[in-house]
Amino acid sequence: MEMDRSRNRRNIRNSGSDSESQTATKPNKWFLLVGISFGLLCMVQASLNICLRLYFSSDDDVDRCNNVTSERDELQKNLSTCKQMLSNVKEGELKEANSRK
């Protein structure tokens, strides 16, 4: 009978230490699970961002580039016209200033 009691005590002690070790590893497993899930979620989000960007902007980019090029050419023409008009105005002012002297 005394042996049974000592075995029961050992079993209780052993079971307590097992449960302590299990509770010590359970949070670590949760952190690992959450970390891996978050990493996978980030990878899925990145791949969706890339796919949707390519899908919605493939044809529009070419048209935008053509529009920007034509707009740039038009602005350059306007700039050269404005520069020429400004130089004509300056020449006119110089002539007036010289004629007044």
pLDDT digits (tens, 9 = 90+) for 10-65: 655 555 555 555 555 678 899 999 999 999 999 999 999 999 988 887 666 666 77
**What is the per-residue pLDDT for 52?**
92
**What is the per-residue pLDDT for 8?**
60
Q: Classify residue 61: in a domain, yes or no.
A: yes
Q: Classify residue 71: in a domain, yes or no.
A: yes
| Tokens coding 77 | 């023409």
Distance CA 46, CA 101 (A): 74
Distance CA 79, CA 15 (A): 87
Measured CA distances, 48 to 38, 43, 44 (Å): 15, 9, 6
Q: Classify residue 60: in a domain, yes or no.
A: yes
Q: Classify residue 85: in a domain, yes or no.
A: no
Distance CA 54, CA 21 (A): 50
Q: Which domain holds residue 69?
A: 1-75
**What is the per-residue pLDDT for 15?**
54
| Tokens coding 8 | 């029961």
Task: Compare 85 and 15 and report the one with higher pLDDT.
Answer: 85
For the chain, what is the domain count?
1
Q: Classify residue 86: in a domain, yes or no.
A: no
Q: Classify residue 13: in a domain, yes or no.
A: yes
pTM above 0.85, yes or no: no
Distance CA 51, CA 40 (A): 17
Range 67-76 average pLDDT? 88
